[in-house]
Chains A and B, each alone.
Chain A
Amino acid sequence: MTSPFPLLRVPNLPLARIIDFMEPNELVPLSFCSQKSHSVIKTLRKASCDEHLLVGGSEKNVLSILFKNFGCVLSTTDSAYISSFQKEEYVKLGGQQVRVKFHRLRNHLITYWEDKLTGLEAITDYVIDLFNIDVSEVCISKYSFKMIEWVNNRQTTPLKKIVYMAMAWGPCSSEDEMNYILKDCRCSSEILIYSEAPPNFRFLNNFRRIDCLDISNSKWVTIDNLLSMDGIDIILGSSTLTSSDMNVFLKHWLSGGCPRLKLFLARIDTVDVSQLLDGLVHNAVLVVDRRDYTSPFGHIRTLPSGVDIRRADGVTATVCYQQTGKLVIAVWPETTYNYN
């Protein structure tokens, strides 16, 4: 059946079913059709409990709103990128007429703005209101840094995840930005920093409780910083920690520090096993069996061999130095983390 269909004359119950069959990226253009189509989606759509809204983006010119496990539903870009051959199409968004284009390959609407960050705020407002959902994650760069605060001021639920990505050609993050992410901003679960810290940066405070901390360039992380962490997954790329530091951390864990730890992973140039296991040999059992380990936050590691050390409460961790230069501490048993 390809002929027109008066959708809004369908009774509410089947109409709700139709809306539930539609994907978020299809509902957004439908919501722009009329006030009634907007209110029908807003009132009849059943939100799935595993829906998570992500705001931001790592693309150079595009900032987007995405549903995790689905994809982009609406994006914003600079109005300078409008092609003169493009047919003019506008939608009413945030009280103003906004130029849009439907991306046929990606199947979502692109909105054009003079300032794409203002656009991102406007489309975020629109999507939050339409789908009655809070933002779970922000993926920001230096340019869109203020989105963390904007989102946190807009909603009562704290962000679950913050990803700070520096663009390859962009400047490194500032001390203020680093301190804000690590110390001040409201985030309940994951912080991922994929950015160069400023030279000589030092974090002088104690780490707050962060379930998953992933720092791609962690040269600034000291053993004192590490001892103050309380995380489940701790990933430190390009670390300057030494074998002796790791020995201190292992003893800290054995004596009850960092009690929630499941996976610790640090890229360390060389490991001196005698320094690493200094004072722990009596507790270390060599394991040669190859094992796979999946952390609560989905990091998957293969442990070709290693030593098992056991805490007084019976919990065992495997310490393994991989040829890729990564030192892994995997705490057994494996557990899965419920995002909700």
Chain B
Amino acid sequence: MTSPASSSEVKYLIESSEGNTFDVSGAALRQSNTFNAMFLNIGADGPIPFTDYNEATLKKVFEYCEHSVNEENYSGPKHQDDLSKWDLNFFNEMDQKMFIDVINASNFLDIERLTSYCCERIARMLRGKNTQEMIKVITLPTAEELEAKQKVEEKKAAAAKKVAEKAAETAEKTETLEELPVQQLVQTTRNKLTRKYLSFSNE
């Protein structure tokens, strides 16, 4: 059911990328500034299509919104140490892929509280780490890995060059062989003519 009513009892249908639909309360949805800007006043005639995100991600995001419906107005990020047990569980049970999907969806839906907590959580992951440790955390190749990769690429390039040179050499040889009978023919003809001319002039 979709309607522009502002009561928290109102349920909205959300459509995911799989084409599945599910209910979300108006109160939960209103935490999304994107929803507020697009649908709150005009309502929606069918399921609200958030089809860039899969059902699992959207359900996770709105699970958070449903839970924080009664929390006081957002006033800047909470320190992670002040997060409730529920909040901590919510974040801890997400794997890496889900966490990225939730940040993306929360960013698109402009859910201030959830986006802030996610961002602060990531910032904390990098705290107290040196460059090498950060490279591992943010899954960048290390200098050694880059060097090894470069060496492999150089080897590949050298091998490819060798193959190309060999191919060119073979092609040149074939060309010479093909040309040989013609040249021989020309030379033979020339020799015959020379000999004929000489015998004629001697006569």
Interface residues of A in 56-109 (CB under 8 A from B): 89-91, 100, 102, 104, 107, 109
B27 CB to nearest chain A CB (Å):
24
Tell me if A5 and B96 are in contact (CB < 8 A): yes
Interface residues of B in 95-120 (CB under 8 A from A): 95-96, 99-100, 103-104, 106-107, 115-116, 118-120
Q: Is the interface of A mostly helix, strand, loop or mixed?
A: mixed
Residues of B within 8 A of A30 (CB): 126, 131, 134, 138
Residues of A within 8 A of B140 (CB): 8, 33-34, 37
Q: Does B197 touch A at the CB level, under 8 Å?
A: no
A21–B125 CA distance with the chains assembled, in angstroms: 11
Residues of B within 8 A of A37 (CB): 138, 140
If A29-B129, A29-B130 touch, does A7 touch B99 (CB 8 Å cutoff)?
no
Nearest-neighbor residue (CB-CB) of A11 within chain B: B107
If A18-B122, A29-B131, A100-B131 touch, does A5 touch B137 (CB 8 Å cutoff)?
yes
If A5-B96, A18-B122, A21-B123 touch, does A10 touch B103 (CB 8 Å cutoff)?
yes
Contact of B130 (CB < 8 Å), options: A1, A7, A34, A102: A102
Nearest-neighbor residue (CB-CB) of B103 within chain A: A14
The CB with the most chain B CB atoms within 10 A, among A4, A14, A22, A109, is that of A14
Tell me if A1 and B91 are in contact (CB < 8 A): yes
Residues of A within 8 A of B127 (CB): 22, 26
Tell me if A33 and B138 are in contact (CB < 8 A): yes
List 26 interface pairs A-B (beta carbons < 8 Å), by A numbering.
Answer: A1-B91, A1-B121, A4-B137, A5-B122, A5-B125, A6-B96, A7-B126, A8-B140, A10-B103, A11-B104, A14-B103, A14-B104, A14-B118, A17-B115, A19-B123, A21-B122, A21-B123, A26-B126, A26-B127, A26-B129, A29-B129, A30-B131, A33-B134, A33-B138, A37-B140, A100-B130
Given A1-B96, A18-B120, 14 more pairs with CB closer than 8 A = A1-B99, A7-B137, A10-B103, A10-B122, A14-B107, A21-B120, A21-B122, A21-B124, A30-B131, A37-B138, A91-B131, A102-B130, A102-B131, A107-B128
Q: Which residues of A contact B (CB under 8 A)?
A: 1-11, 13-14, 17-19, 21-22, 26, 29-30, 32-34, 37, 89-91, 100, 102, 104, 107, 109
Q: Which residues of B contact A (CB under 8 A)?
A: 77, 91-92, 94-96, 99-100, 103-104, 106-107, 115-116, 118-132, 134-140, 143
